[in-house]
Amino acid sequence: MLKYNEIATEIEQDILQRNLKQGTKLPKFEELIARYKVSKSTIVKALAILESRGVIYQVQGSGVFVRRRKKYGYINMLENQGFTSDLEEFKITTKVLGVEKIFPTEEIAEYLNCAPGDSLFHVQRIRYINAQALCIEESFFKSSIVPYLNEEIANESIFNYLKSALKLKIGFSDKYLHVIKMKEAESKLLEIETGSPGLFVEELFYLNSGEPFDFSKTTYHHEHSQFFLQSSNLK
């Protein structure tokens, strides 16, 4: 891990452990430099990361302050590493409906920038939160980047497998969202009446080299999901 990422994580842990409230002023640059024994530019970068994550805000000429923590049980919309870490207070379980190797449709080949003949792993899963249906998820992984995947892996966090076993460096993602009325197939799987509201999310994930590797479509049960999102001062 890069030094400024490490420092960012340490400062965030410190804020969480001491349960610091919105508006609490953090120590000055000089104190942070002395505490973490790093250069000023490392602290500047660490604070920029924490600002973009919504952990702090910086006020020019006046200092660095703690931001409000998210409400309990909300899923962070900016998290692009799977939501398991957001909901660690809850029991998240998974039912794998299928893992198969397929060839992409034209739409998906375009999203994933596939070469002719490229195959994909197609994974379908239902995720549960405290034994209640949270979402149904269909993902397509480019097999040129993810050469192996099976039901056992899909039963746990696929992203943890990508990072720890395949050593992939996951970069950024694009999300497209709208509200739908659920069709029969998905409402059955989510154990809800056909026509019920749901949040439909399409997401394209990239490695940090900029190469797309995963396209997924997720439908959330409206009664068992809620989301939060913090914009930062950077823009």
Amino acid at 30: E
3-state secondary structure of 60: coil
Start-to-end Cα distance in the chain: 26
Asked if 217 and 186 touch (Cβ cutoff 8 Å), the reply is no
The piece of 31-39, 98-106, 119-127, 190-198 that touches a copy of itself (CB under 8 A) is 190-198
Cβ atoms of 142 and 213 closer than 8 Å? yes
Q: Using CB under 8 A, pick the residue from 78, 96, 108, 145 that binds a copy of itself.
A: 78
CA–CA gap between residue 13 and residue 84 (Å, rounded)? 18
Nearer to a copy of itself, 96 or 202 (CB): 202
Nearer to a copy of itself, 111 or 128 (CB): 111
The CA angle 25-229-189, to the nearest 5 degrees, is 145
36, 90, 143, 171: which one binds a copy of itself (CB under 8 A): 171
| Shortest reach from residue 33's CB to a copy of itself, in Å | 18
| CB distance 128 to 93 below 8 Å | yes
Site string for a copy of itself, 123-162 (x = CB under 8 A): ----------------------------------------
| Residues lying near a copy of itself in the complex (CB under 8 A) | 22-23, 48-49, 52-54, 57, 59-60, 62, 65, 67-68, 71, 74, 77-80, 171-181, 196-199, 204, 206, 208-210, 220, 222, 225-235
